[in-house]
Every structure is written in C-alpha cells, then in structure tokens.
C-alpha cells in the first residue's frame, strides 16, 4: 500500500500518497491566475501532534503478525532528504536510467501521443524529467497546460513557480491532493489529447491490486486515445536489485530505519535504533524487492503516544516496503486489466528500466471490471 510525498531533489520523482493518507483537502492553483482552494474535508492531529492516521496505522501495523509499516511514512522531511540522496547513489540506477530514456526519446513519446496535448503528472517533485517532455511538446505546439498533482502544496508551489518562470508558454495548474482525489478534479479540454505522467517506478510501490485500481482511476479521466506514460523498473539480476536497495554507504539503511526514528519523534516511541538492522531482499516468486527492519535482539519497546508496548523476538522483522519489478508481459497485462493498450516501450541503453506508453481504450470492457472486482493480480 502506498505512501506519502517527498520533497524531491534533482532527478528524483516526487512521491505521493494514493490510497489511505490523512488529508482530504484538494487545493488547486493556476500560475496564470488567482489561487483557488477547494476543501473536501478536514485533517486532524492526534498523539503528540502527529496525524491520527499515522498513529492508527503504526498501531495496527505493529500489532499485526507479521509486523508491517506503510512505506508512505518514510517521507517526513528527513526521509525525503534521504530519498533524494538515494537517487544519487551509484547503486540506485533507476533515476538515471529513466532520465536517460526521456532525454533520448521525449520527442518520440510526444509524437506518439499526438499534439496538441495537455500534461497531467502524478507526483511532480522538482520535475527535472518532466522538463524533457515539456520541452519536446513545445516543439510542436505553441502553448501547453501542465497539471501536476501532489499532496504537498509547498513543493507543488515551488516547482510550479520555477516551471512558469522557465516556460512562459506553459500554464501550470497545480492540484494539491492525493492522486485519486486530484485526478477527479482535473479539468479536461475535450479538443486536445491528455498524457498522464506516472514516472520514477512509483507504480512499483503499489501492491498489484492497488496498481490496478490506480491505473483504472487514471483511465476514468481519460478519453479514447489519451495516454499514460508509465515508468517501471525491470526484473533483473538479484545482486543488482539488492545492491540498489542496500547501498554500501548505508543511505538506504538510514532511510528505512528513519521510520522508527519518526515514531520516536512523533508518537513518543522509545526505539533504540542501534538495536535494529536494515534488510533488503529480492523475492523472486513475487517479483519484488522487499525492505524489512530486523530486531537484533529480543526487546520490548514502549510507544507512549499509542499507550502500548511492542515485543520483538530476536530476528523478528517489520516489512516496510515492496518495490515490484516488471517485465513487458506483466506491463501488458496491467494495461489490459485497466482499459489501456501498451503501445510503446523504451528502455535505457543498459536495459534496466522501461518507459511505457499506454493508450486509453474507451469504454472499459465489462471483462476488465470483472477481473478488477476479483482483485486479480496483473
């Protein structure tokens, strides 16, 4: 289950929560006009100022067997900074590979969709990679509307201002919301094509049935012939994958363990971080890299804000993240289950990562609804 935003640095995707994050505010602003804000609810604070969903999710996750924590909670300020650092690590090839693809093929991608087009992006961050698509689109149309959807109004505001400065012919219409809420509030111009960008292998952090539901929500807002550009990391040698999630400098370990530090900071937890270890392993059968936190010894940890004590056996784990890896067949299946056709795939020169163009076919067939209703995995 996904996750929350991060304040992304150069080349990094901006990660946003999709399914069960706390906020239900939708704020929309256009850099060309006045600020518009729409509120669809309220968020609330709980133990020691932390959000109620964070406290509830931690309580439920650490009471479960096996224990788990949701990866969206990696991305507080420190976790976001650590993620930015991960993107620069030699072992973490994903960001560079996708940027190489977009650098080489942005024009081809835009031409395959057709112009004029509007762009919508799920999680925009600093939008470095997005700039490659924007520049390519502006070669064949004089103006462009770009609607980034992100949970963080401040990050959205900063990147929208920068883009508006750099590209006077681009109208940036930012929507501060969860992906699914944001998608519902994008305004469509029926006479132009829309391309939705979902970059950075963010799809990989979704459980398969959540990936299906999210792509179906994207399909819902598109017209026949509109497109989704989906960045997906590819299955590959176990050693390469495990190194990408367990780097020599220990940055990914710090990123993973920061979730315990966050519980200490926000929920009055008493985790002694030294008594826990980071573990990343490739689960071949499920096609995913899993990150876990391992208790180095038998111990009991108090979390004052939750009024609970958690016991850990020696070697007991908390599952914190899955990063699903795809191949073309799996991507084609996912496309078919969600009302798309996989029409083009571009790989980086080392064949590590894929950028995939999915064309929306309307209407969604009843067969697809049937499969999704059964939560069939792609």
Binding site for ligand AVI (CB under 6 A): 15, 86, 94, 200-202, 204-205, 245, 252, 321, 323
Query: Considering the complex, what minimum distance in angstroms separates the CB of residue 257 from ligand AVI?
Result: 12
CB 218 within 8 A of CB 149: no
Nearest residue to the partner ligand AVI, using Cβ: 323
Which segments of 16-138 does DSSP mark as H helices, in order? 52-63, 77-86, 94-113, 128-137
Query: Considering the complex, what minimum distance in angstroms separates the CB of residue 129 from ligand AVI?
Result: 13
Name the residue nearer to ligand AVI (CB basis): 72 or 105: 72
Query: Considering the complex, what minimum distance in angstroms separates the CB of residue 368 from ligand AVI?
Result: 26
Name the residue nearer to ligand AVI (CB basis): 202 or 354: 202
CB 8 within 8 A of CB 84: yes
Name the residue nearer to ligand AVI (CB basis): 9 or 200: 200
Query: Considering the complex, what minimum distance in angstroms separates the CB of residue 4 from ligand AVI?
Result: 11
Q: How many CB atoms lie within 10 A of CB 156?
A: 26
Query: Considering the complex, what minimum distance in angstroms separates the CB of residue 127 from ligand AVI?
Result: 16
Name the residue nearer to ligand AVI (CB basis): 125 or 153: 125
Question: Phi and psi of 357, rounded to 5°?
Answer: -100, 120
Query: Considering the complex, what minimum distance in angstroms separates the CB of residue 137 from ligand AVI?
Result: 25
Strand partners, 232: 354
Name the residue nearer to ligand AVI (CB basis): 29 or 198: 198
Name the residue nearer to ligand AVI (CB basis): 86 or 170: 86
Please state, in angstroms and rounded to a whole number, the distance separating the CA atoms of residues 293 and 68: 9
Q: Which residues lie below 8 Å from residue 150, measured CB to CB, with a gap of 6+?
A: 5, 14, 16, 123, 124, 125, 156, 174, 175, 176, 177, 182
Pairing of strands 144-150, 170-176: parallel
């Amino acid at each position: 289950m996904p996750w929350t935003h991060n304040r992304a640095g150069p080349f990094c995707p901006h990660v946003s929560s999709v399914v069960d994050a706390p906020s239900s505010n939708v704020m929309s602003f256009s850099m060309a006009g006045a600020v518009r804000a729409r509120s669809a609810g309220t968020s609330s604070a709980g133990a020691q100022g932390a959000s109620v969903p964070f406290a509830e999710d931690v309580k439920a996750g650490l009471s479960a067997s096996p224990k788990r924590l949701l990866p969206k909670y990696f991305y507080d300020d420190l976790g976001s900074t650590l993620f930015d650092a991960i993107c620069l690590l030699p072992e973490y090839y994903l960001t560079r590979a996708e940027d190489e693809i977009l650098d080489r093929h942005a024009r081809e991608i835009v031409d395959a969709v057709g112009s004029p087009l509007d762009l919508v992006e799920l999680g925009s961050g600093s939008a470095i990679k997005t700039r490659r698509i924007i520049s390519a689109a502006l070669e064949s149309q004089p103006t462009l509307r770009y609607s980034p959807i992100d949970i963080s109004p401040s990050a959205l505001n900063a990147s929208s201002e920068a883009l508006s400065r750099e590209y006077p012919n681009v109208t940036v219409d930012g929507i501060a919301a969860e992906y699914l809420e944001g998608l519902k509030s994008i305004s469509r111009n029926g006479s132009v094509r829309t391309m939705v960008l979902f970059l950075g292998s963010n799809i990989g952090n979704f459980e398969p049935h959540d990936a299906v539901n999210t792509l179906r929500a994207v399909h819902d807002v598109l017209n026949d012939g509109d497109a989704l550009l989906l960045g997906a990391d590819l299955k590959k040698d176990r050693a390469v994958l495990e190194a990408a999630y367990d780097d020599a400098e220990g940055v990914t370990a710090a990123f993973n363990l920061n979730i315990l530090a966050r519980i200490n900071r926000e929920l009055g937890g008493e985790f002694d971080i030294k008594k826990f270890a980071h573990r990343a392993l490739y689960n071949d059968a499920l096609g995913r890299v899993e990150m876990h936190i391992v208790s180095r010894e038998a111990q009991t940890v108090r979390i004052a804000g939750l009024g609970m004590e958690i016991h850990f056996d020696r070697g007991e784990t908390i599952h914190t993240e899955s990063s699903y890896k795809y191949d073309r067949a799996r991507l084609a299946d996912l496309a078919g289950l969600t009302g798309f056709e996989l029409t083009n795939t571009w790989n980086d020169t080392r064949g590590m990562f894929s950028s995939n163009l999915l064309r929306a076919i309307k209407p969604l067939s009843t067969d697809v609804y049937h499969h999704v209703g059964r939560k069939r995995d792609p």
